[in-house]
Amino acid sequence: MPLSTMNAGPAVSAAGPAPTPTRSSATARRRSQRSGGALLIWAFALPALVVYTTFVLVPVALAAVYSFFNWNGLGALDRFIGVDNYARALQDPIFLGAMGNNFAIVGLSLAVQGPLAIGIALLLNRNLRGRALIRTLIFVPYVLSEVVAGLAFRLMLPPGGPVDSALTSLGWSGEKPLWLADPSVAFWTLFAVITWKYLGFAIILMLAGLQGVPEELSEAASIDGATWWQTQRYITLPLLGPTIRIWAFLSVIGSLQLFDMVWILTGGGPLNATETMATYMVEYGNGRSQVGYGSAVAVILFVVSLVIALVYQRFVLRRDLRGAITRG
Amino acid sequence: MNRRAARRLAAIALTGITVGALAACAPAENGTGGSGSGDEVTLTWWHNGTGEPLLGFWEDVAEEFEDANPGVNVEVTAYQNEELQRTLIPNQLRTGSGLDLYQQWGAGELAAQVEAGFVKDISEDVSEQVDALGGVVAPWQYDGATYGLPFNFGISGFWYNTELFEQAGIEDTPETLDDLYEAIEALKAANITPIAVGAGDGWPAAHYWYHFALKSCAPEVLQQAQVDYTFDDPCFLEAGELLEEFIGSEPFNDGFLATSAQQGAGSSAGQLATGAAAMELMGHWNPGVMGGILQEESGDENATPPEFLGWFNFPAIDGAQGDPTAALGGGDGFSCSAWSPPECTDLLNYITSVEVQTRFGEIGAGIPVTPGSEAGIADVNLQQVLAGLQSSTYVQLWLDTAYGPTVGGAMNEGIVSLFGGQGSPDSIVDSMRNAAATL
């Protein structure tokens, strides 16, 4: 959703001003041209609108309706229970724990992946031997499907598995942590795998952003005697701002909706240590046949994501998106 | 094994050949009647037998049925178990068309489907089969009517590695819980992991609690709990205490909280199959699962379940309140959807006929239920499971199936917490009560 909103932004702004000149004129021909333009806009927008309505708006609305019922997914929707499902979710320590995990991943992603990605991107932006190869390698994890990557880690991480053997051969002779089976360790294992998976994407994004920083500025700075560090700190980073803000936005939304990797790697376990709102939703809505309750969780997840997305766009992305979605 | 009351599965062994033979004839008779309208009939059949030999077996059965019933087409498709059970079948049933014969796990889930009006009452068409099958049909019945028939039914017990037992100097298979504790100590002393458990999947760990509940609770208490979800009897707490003590003996593989039951060599079945652990408490399907894992791991399509495999019943507990000869088990069946044509019942009758059931036993995919078909069971271990089944006076259906996904899911989660050292015998019962309150 956030991606489509942003993509739609510039398109709307480009289409927006176009009809204005015709507004001043009143000739029939112009009017017909104008209505022809509107027709064209509708013709282009209609398929997307139909798809968006059918597969996004209607399901969201249906989930909202289901969430007020005690419904097992079969039979008639006839046991209205008001907001009981919501009350239950917000009182369930497991759901609150799942929500906590989501926010922990949001925070950790921003605090760890961001600086790491910027640092690596700055390094890769210099003239290095084999730079293209390194860039490709860094991007590989992101290209792998979540399921393939998740299964690979599941095969590597059991007690005495390849990872443990590798650590032993590197000189760690003692007991290894139970990477996926120890509830106090599994969350960090998960976060490490997510970081491995998504860091490449962040780096590529940052590198693309760096391409937009004019070299003249760095040249001018170095003529004025700025060191490499000063150039990065006072010129490159500020100009990379829009990219960083967009990356952070994608990262936050992705972290809130995190599902696939967790589902494959731990299934939310052990003892719910890696549960996220999305895995909780699937476990209860689907696994335990409580579709009404699962829908309530889905609505909570949707509202949390939507509020954060809107607030972020309103206050953080405001300048970056000016004219696109902040103004009509 | 469910609210339909205690029953004697020994009845399976007794007779019914005539009934079976009648059933075998049924498709031929009714098939012509079904196509009497002159139109072609297509039956859509979904099952979970994605691996051989079951996949090819059901295809053969479908073809034979088509040959015997001109004008009937059977479209048989296999889907992955969880996907089929949790997503595909509920979604398709809700559309009210398109699916005729489908995998049915029975009990709690069946009840929900029946209440929603999605399942055909086949009581009259299969009354002879029902009489012949005896108590084993109970999970496929609801409120006095029959909504499906089983084709496979077995009980849970310990699958073990005879070679590792020998290596640890264990001469007899454990008959009491104390024997089991001794065996665990002997295996540990020989540096062998005593038991593999796939607690990552939940239910394999939960089966221990089910067994202890079965040993602690009288059959009447268990049956009542299935009807009204009351878990007030102290025997449910006792089950948790017995389990807590058992977990305390630390018999399980490292990292069991993240171990899956059936996927790959690292799973609990895989650990038993590859000799990494000595025992696994599991249902009668386990040899097939292990064979599949060995096929994948070795790349040899003809790999069979390991030779060293043995089976023994869950040990008795001295002084326990429950029925000492009770067993824990479950099976697979098929139901016809409410809108399916009459041919669906014919196909179901054919599937549960002695002839097809005997062949089902021969391919080693499970334990056939129709009396007269036991002769087909070639596998020695499955014969032992069958003997265990037949000597049980009471067979309790898997508790999670019996209670349905909502209470069953909460129960399994509570039990896994106890395995992970975070729960208590009380918290298991509490989570079951809380889940029942949301029904």
Q: How far is A200 from chain B (nearest CA, A)?
A: 28
Look over chain B and give the mean of its residue pLDDT values, rounded to a whole number. 86
Q: By the 8 A CB rule, do B180 and B316 touch? A: no
Residue B420 touches partner A, C-beta closer than 8 Å: yes
Residues of A with CB under 8 A from a CB of B: 70, 72-76, 88, 155, 158-161, 178, 180-183, 186, 266-267, 269-271, 283, 286-290, 293
pLDDT at B215: 92
Tell me the pLDDT tens digit for each residue of B306-319.
889 999 999 988 88
Percent of chain A with pLDDT over 90: 59
What is the rounded distance in angstroms from the CA atom of residue B153 to the CA atom of residue A135?
A: 56
Percent of chain B with pLDDT over 90: 56
Ranges in chain B annotated CATH 3.40.190.10: 10-154+330-379, 157-327+397-437
Pairing state of beta strands B326-336 and B394-397?
parallel
Q: How far is B112 from chain A (nearest CA, A)?
A: 7
Query: Across residues B341-352, what is the average pLDDT?
Result: 92
Given pLDDT bands bounded at 50, 70 and 90, which one contains residue B416? very high
Residues 6 or more apart whose Cβ sits within 8 Å of residue B337: B93, B99, B100, B101, B102, B118, B119, B120, B344
Q: Which of A181, A288, A290 sits opposite B258 (nearest CB)?
A: A181
Query: Across residues A79-106, what is the average pLDDT?
Result: 95
Given pLDDT bands bounded at 50, 70 and 90, which one contains residue A29? low
Q: Does residue A207 carry a pLDDT above 50?
A: yes
What is the rounded distance in angstroms from the CA atom of residue A36 to the CA atom of residue A30?
A: 9
Contact between chains at A183 and B410 (C-beta distance less than 8 A): no
What is the rounded distance in angstroms from the CA atom of residue A122 to the CA atom of residue B363?
A: 63
Residue B81 touches partner A, C-beta closer than 8 Å: no
Contact between chains at A186 and B115 (C-beta distance less than 8 A): no
Q: Does residue B324 carry a pLDDT above 90?
A: no
In the numeric block, which tokens belong to residue B227? Answer: 């009807």
More confident call, A322 vs A313: A313
pLDDT at A323: 59
Buried b (16+ CB within 10 A) or exposed e, B121-159: ebeebbebbbebbbbbbbbbbbeeebbbbbbbbbbbbbb
pLDDT at A26: 52
Tell me the pLDDT tens digit for each residue of B203-214.
999 999 999 999
Q: How far is B202 from chain A (nearest CA, A)?
A: 10
Q: How far is B94 from chain A (nearest CA, A)?
A: 6
Tell me the pLDDT tens digit for each residue of A39-83.
999 999 999 999 999 999 999 999 999 999 999 888 888 899 999
Q: Where are the alpha helices (DSSP H) in A69-182?
A: 84-91, 93-108, 114-124, 131-143, 146-156, 162-169
What Rg value do the Cα atoms of chain B yield, rounded? 21
Domain boundaries, chain A: 2-66, 86-315
Domain B10-154+330-379 -> CATH class: alpha beta
pLDDT at A269: 81
Q: Which of A155, A183, A289 sits opposite B112 (nearest CB)?
A: A289
Query: Across residues A94-110, what is the average pLDDT?
Result: 96
CB contacts of B410 in chain A (<8 Å) are 288
**Residue B336: beta bridge partners?**
B101
Only one residue has tokens 């590859």, namely: B274
Chain A, chain B: beta-carbon pairs less than 8 Å apart? 89
Given pLDDT bands bounded at 50, 70 and 90, which one contains residue A27? low
More confident call, A228 vs B246: B246
CATH fold of B157-327+397-437: D-Maltodextrin-Binding Protein; domain 2 (3.40.190)
The CATH code of domain A86-315 reads: 1.10.3720.10
Given pLDDT bands bounded at 50, 70 and 90, which one contains residue B52? confident
Q: Which of A76, A270, A293 sits opposite B258 (nearest CB)?
A: A270
pLDDT at A18: 41
Query: Across residues A226-242, what is the average pLDDT?
Result: 89
